Structure 1
Amino acid sequence: MNQMSASPSAVGAQSRSGRSITAPLGFTVPQDEKPVFHSSALTGGAPKIFFQVEEIPVEIADMRPIADDLDLDRQGFTLKKHPTAVADLYDDDAVTSTYYDEVVELVKQAVGATKVVIFDHTRRSDSGAGAANKDGARGPASRVHVDYTAASGPKRGNDALGAGEVEAILAKGGRVVQVNVWRPITGPVQRAPLALADAESIAPDALLATDQVFPDRVGEIYQLAHQPGQRWYWAPEMTRDEVLLIKGWDTKDGVSKYTPHGAFQIPDQDPSAPPRESIEVRTFAVIEG
C-alpha cells in the first residue's frame, strides 16, 4: 500500500500541548471476508453495510495551534483560510462554474500542480433529511474511511483524466494526487464535525479494502480498523471561509498516501444547534516531472 508506517511525529507531539476532546469514532472490525456495503446511490437512503462497526472513544486534538505545520505529504491534510465568492453553495450552476474555478486554483497552489481536474462534489447535512445532491440526500459519513485505495485510485484517476493518462504521466516522471476540498456551507460548525487521522500514524494493516456497490459499478475504499497510536485531529467551529484539504491517494512513494476521516459527535453538543452542512469537492492534481 505504501502508506507510511506509524511513527512518532513532531506535529503529533506539538498537538498534545493544545486543547483536545475525547469522542467515539466509527471503526470497522477486521473480518476474514472482504467487507462490502451498498452506497446511498444504490439504496436511495442510508448506506447498507455488511460488516461489523465499533465505536471507540479516541482523543481528538485541536489542529488550529499546529495548522501552519500541517503538510499533505506528512499528515495528509491541511487547514486553509479560503473565502468563496459563491453565495449559495446549493446552487449547482454556481458550484460547477465559479466554485470549481476557485477550487482548481487552490489545489494547484497547495500541491504545485500544473493541472487539476474536478470530477465530483457532494453535500452533506446532519439535519436528519440530509443535504440535497443530484443523486439523493446525504448525511455525514460517520465511519472512518479513505475514499480511494491502491487499486481504485489509479482507476478513478484514468476515469477523470482520460484513459491511460495516469500511466502516461508517470512515464514522463510526473505525479498524480487525489485531493478533496471540504468546506462548511454554513458556520461555525457546532455539530458532526470532521475528524482526520495523521496519516503518518496509520499502519498499512489498519486500512481495510472494502467494496462500495453503486447502481452501475463496484468501487473500492478503505475502511479503518482501530489500533493504538493512531493520532486524530479536528478544527473546532470551522467557518464558511475555511477549508480542509484531504489527500485520498498519491502515486508518489515515500509520502503519506491515504488520510482516514469521518464525522463524529461533539461531547455534549447542543442538539438545537444548527445542522452541520458541508460540501466536498473531489479532484485529481497532476504535477509534471
Structure 2
Amino acid sequence: MPDLISSIEYLQDLPLYKTEKPYWCMLTPRDGFDPDQERLDNLEFEIRDGITITDIRDSKENFILDKSGFQVLSHESEISSFDTKEDVDNYKAETMQVLKRELDAVFVKTYELRMRKNIQIDRSVMNIADPLLYEGPARGAHNDVTYNSGPVIINRYLSDEEKETYLKPGYRFRIINTWRSLVANLEDRPLALCDARTVAPDDFVAADRIIPDRVGEVYYLTYNGDHRWCYLSKQSPNEPYLFIMYDTAPGNNARCKFNA
C-alpha cells in the first residue's frame, strides 16, 4: 500500500510547561465532585496535518528494537477471545514466553494488559484494576514509561526474591510493550510508530499520570519535522509489534519509542 498523509496529535510546546508540569488525573468519584464538569488535566494538544506515515509492509525487516525502537513479529496467538480473566491471564503467560524467546531473556514478567476499541468511550468511573476493561484510543503521541518511572515500575512489580536475583550488575532491564490487532486486517486507525532514530531528547516532555493509589510518569511528544512515522498496512493478529518503553543499557540503542 502507498504511504499515508495523515495527522498526528502532539503535545503543544507551551511556555506553561516551563513552570507547571503536564499532568492528567483519574480521581475516585466522591460527593461534590463531577469529573464531567471539573478539568482533570493541563494537557493541551495540537493536530499536525500533512504528516507522511510510511508503510513498512515490504521493509519491516529493516526495523528492529535496538535501532528503530520497534519491530514486527510473526506469531499466532492461541488466545482468540478476551471474555474472561482466565483469557487475559493465559495471554499474559503466552506473551512472557514470546518475549523470552525473541529477546533471549533469562527472565520476563508481565504486569499490565490494556484492551482498546476504536470508539470514543465516555465514562465518569473507570476501574483500572478490571482485567476486562476496554478503553478508547490514547490521546497524543506518547511513551508510557520515562527514565524516572522505569526504575519505579521495576521495583514495584518484582518480588523480593526476583530483586535479589536480578537487581545487580550484569543484568539489562527493558520494559517492552507488545501490541496486537484484534481484527483480521487492521485498516481503520492503525497504530503509528515513530522511528526512535528521528526523535531528539528535547522533543519529549515528562507528564504525571495520577491515579488513586500512585503517581506515574509518561512522556508526551512535541512536534519536530524530522520525525519519521511508520505503520504496517493491513496488520493482522499474527503480526504483533514489539516496542521499547525503557531500557537500562547505555549507548546508541533505542531507549524509548513513541506511538500515536
TM-score over 0.5 for the pair = yes
- Supply the distance in 2 between the matched residues of 1:52 and 1:70 (Cα, whole angstroms): 31
What pairs with 1:140-289 in structure 2 (closer than 5 Å)?
140-162=137-159, 169=166, 171-254=168-251, 255-262=253-260
TM-score w.r.t. structure 2 length? 0.85
- Supply the distance in 1 between the matched residues of 2:196 and 2:161 (Cα, whole angstroms): 28
- Supply the distance in 1 between the matched residues of 2:214 and 2:175 (Cα, whole angstroms): 20
Q: 1:90 to 1:243 in 2, by over 3 A?
A: farther
Structure 1 residue 158, shift from structure 2 partner? 1.1
**Percent of residue pairs bearing the same amino acid type:** 26
- Supply the distance in 2 between the matched residues of 1:164 and 1:102 (Cα, whole angstroms): 23
- Supply the distance in 2 between the matched residues of 1:231 and 1:80 (Cα, whole angstroms): 21
Q: 1:203 to 1:227 in 2, by over 3 A?
A: same
Q: 1:182 to 1:108 in 2, by over 3 A?
A: same
Q: 1:167 to 1:247 in 2, by over 3 A?
A: farther
Point out where structure 2 has 5 or more consecutive residues left out of the alignment.
Answer: none
What pairs with 1:103-122 in structure 2 (closer than 5 Å)?
103-122=95-114
SS at match of 1:245: strand
Structure 1 residue 48, shift from structure 2 partner? 4.3
Q: Deviations over 1:88-114 (max 9, x none)?
A: 1333212202x2222112111222111
- Residue 29 in 1 paired to residue 43 in 2? no
Structure 1 residue 169, shift from structure 2 partner? 3.4
Q: Deviations over 1:19-57 (max 9, x none)?
A: 311111110012322111124988989x94312110112
Q: 1:113 to 1:104 in 2, by over 3 A?
A: same
- Counterpart for residue 88 of structure 2: 95
Structure 1 residue 165, shift from structure 2 partner? 5.9
**Is the contact between residue 22 and residue 206 of structure 2 (CA under 8 Å) also seen in structure 1?**
yes
- Supply the distance in 2 between the matched residues of 1:88 and 1:40 (Cα, whole angstroms): 30
The amino acid of 1:26's aligned partner reads E
**Is the contact between residue 154 and residue 166 of structure 1 (CA under 8 Å) also seen in structure 2?**
no
Query: Alignment RMSD, CA only?
Result: 2.7
Larger strand share, 1 or 2: 1
Structure 1 residue 160, shift from structure 2 partner? 1.4
- Supply the distance in 2 between the matched residues of 1:34 and 1:167 (Cα, whole angstroms): 35
- Supply the distance in 2 between the matched residues of 1:44 and 1:118 (Cα, whole angstroms): 31
**Is the contact between residue 37 and residue 49 of structure 1 (CA under 8 Å) also seen in structure 2?**
yes
Q: 1:215 to 1:233 in 2, by over 3 A?
A: same
- Residue 38 in 1 paired to residue 25 in 2? yes
- Counterpart for residue 123 of structure 1: 115
- Supply the distance in 1 between the matched residues of 2:163 and 2:206 (Cα, whole angstroms): 21
Structure 1 residue 239, shift from structure 2 partner? 1.3
**Is the contact between residue 177 and residue 245 of structure 2 (CA under 8 Å) also seen in structure 1?**
yes
The amino acid of 1:208's aligned partner reads V
Structure showing greater radius of gyration is 2
Point out where structure 1 has 5 or more consecutive residues left out of the alignment.
Answer: 1-17, 263-289
**Is the contact between residue 120 and residue 137 of structure 2 (CA under 8 Å) also seen in structure 1?**
no
**Is the contact between residue 158 and residue 164 of structure 1 (CA under 8 Å) also seen in structure 2?**
no
